[in-house]
Amino acid sequence: MAWFDDLKTPRIKSQVSQRASRVPEGLWVKCTSCGEILQSKILKDCLQVCPECSFHFRMTAAERIRSLTDEGSFEEIAEDLVSTDPLEFDDRKPYRDRLRAAAVSTGVRDAFVIGKAQLGGLPYFLGVFEFKFMGGSMGVVVGEKVTRLFERAAAEKLPAVVVSSSGGARMQEGILSLMQMAKTTSALQRLREMGVPYISILSDPTTGGVAASFAMLGDVILAEPGALVGFAGPRVIQQTIRQSLPEGFQRSEFLVRHGFVDRIVQRKDLATELRSWMWRLGRQNCEFEPSVVRPSSRESGTSSVSKRTKKVASKKSKSKG
Ligand SMILES: [Zn+2]
């Protein structure tokens, strides 16, 4: 079981610091939006945002965690959970093989990574989707991890944050996948009753059962620019209702105008904005240490962001343990 040994040793913590360095230098990427040819290293330094047109590329789970946490503060939870293939599902390829291949290519064991972290010294629970793991689909493991995230946040009275990027329920786990919508939602309800904040961040794409459950239930819902957010895809809707859809339908800009999303936040501002929301919503009911500094006037604006971004970008690989 060589694939299993591969997974056993590297934890997300070490990946967070090492992963980026595996990308060979001098690799070029063509911007999907403006067509500009970009050096992948520059793109990485810009948090995967095109410096020419601000197009937001998708991030890996490790990159996302690195961008929203203080260096070295992320402690992963429940990293050992793996799907047992409850339906013994086979399509063109056995589900077990798909899981194995996805785990080897992404370095995570399922499509969701959770942990306790700090952002600007503020402790919180963070969960991020890994879209490259079977389209970020939600099966039993993802549902369980989302639930544990909310339960831990409730137990420790600390904010919960989920960054979604998912195609929805995982077909290979059938009805069990759909049940995760109810399970995660009821765990979230307990958090809500305690008045502990939950902030949902929607990135491209957030669709299906994830959009139809906890992703849309944030006390505050933030979205990245241009993210596709919806339940069914535009093509399915168009074929069903036999009408052409309005310009920009299901993109975050459209959803802000229609009250589905609270704010669109550029990725470079996301960490600052997130910390500010956690503080504002959590200072009454959350157990923040007295030493946690109140965000200085307007969370000190852009200067702290650029400092953070630079720090993240220049971060060197750190050996684990
Ligand atoms: Zn571009």
| pLDDT band with cut points at 50, 70 and 90 for residue 134 | very high
Residue 303 has a pLDDT of 39
The residue-averaged pLDDT of 247-270 equals 96
Residue ranges of E strands in the chain: 28-30, 37-39, 75-77, 112-119, 122-129, 160-166, 198-206, 220-223, 263-264
Which tens digits make up the pLDDT trace of 300-313?
Answer: 444 343 344 444 34
Average per-residue pLDDT for the chain: 87
How far, in Å, is the centroid of ligand 1 from the Cα of 53? 4
How far, in Å, is the centroid of ligand 1 from the Cα of 155? 43
What percent of the chain has pLDDT above 90?
79
Please say whether the beta carbons of 115 and 126 come within 8 A: yes
How far, in Å, is the centroid of ligand 1 from the Cα of 203? 17
pLDDT above 70: residue 152: yes
**CA 142, CA 146: separation in Å to the nearest integer?**
6
Q: Largest Cα–Cα distance of the chain, in whole Å?
A: 58
How far, in Å, is the centroid of ligand 1 from the Cα of 226? 13
The residue-averaged pLDDT of 142-152 equals 98
How far, in Å, is the centroid of ligand 1 from the Cα of 279? 33
- CATH number given to 58-288: 3.90.226.10
How far, in Å, is the centroid of ligand 1 from the Cα of 299? 29
The residue-averaged pLDDT of 260-270 equals 97
| pLDDT band with cut points at 50, 70 and 90 for residue 234 | confident
Please say whether the beta carbons of 289 and 122 come within 8 A: no
pLDDT above 50: residue 321: no
**CA 62, CA 23: separation in Å to the nearest integer?**
13
And the tokens for 73?
């503060």
DSSP annotation string for 79-126: TT-----TT--BSSSBHHHHHHHHHHHHSSSSSEEEEEEEETTEEEEE
Q: How far is CA 320 from the centre of its chain?
A: 23
pLDDT above 70: residue 25: no
**CA 108, CA 131: separation in Å to the nearest integer?**
11
How buried is residue 166: exposed, middle or buried, by Cβ count under 10 Å (0-12/13-18/19+)?
buried
Q: Which residue has the higher pLDDT, 26 or 268?
A: 268
pLDDT above 60: residue 283: yes
How far, in Å, is the centroid of ligand 1 from the Cα of 30? 8
Residue 289 has a pLDDT of 79
How far, in Å, is the centroid of ligand 1 from the Cα of 131? 21
pLDDT above 90: residue 68: yes
pLDDT above 50: residue 111: yes
Helix, strand or coil for residue 202?
strand
Q: Is the link from the previous residue into 205 a cis peptide, with omega within 30 of 0? A: yes
Residue 301 has a pLDDT of 42
Structural domain boundaries in the chain: 58-288
**CA 111, CA 103: separation in Å to the nearest integer?**
9
Residue 130 has a pLDDT of 98
Which tens digits make up the pLDDT trace of 204-214?
Answer: 999 999 999 99
Residue 279 has a pLDDT of 96
How buried is residue 95: exposed, middle or buried, by Cβ count under 10 Å (0-12/13-18/19+)?
buried
**CA 67, CA 310: separation in Å to the nearest integer?**
11
The residue-averaged pLDDT of 240-251 equals 93
How far, in Å, is the centroid of ligand 1 from the Cα of 247? 20
How far, in Å, is the centroid of ligand 1 from the Cα of 49? 8
How far, in Å, is the centroid of ligand 1 from the Cα of 237? 29
**CA 123, CA 62: separation in Å to the nearest integer?**
18
How buried is residue 94: exposed, middle or buried, by Cβ count under 10 Å (0-12/13-18/19+)?
middle
How far, in Å, is the centroid of ligand 1 from the Cα of 138? 30
Strands 112-119, 75-77: parallel, antiparallel or unpaired by DSSP?
Answer: antiparallel
pLDDT above 80: residue 198: yes
pLDDT above 50: residue 156: yes
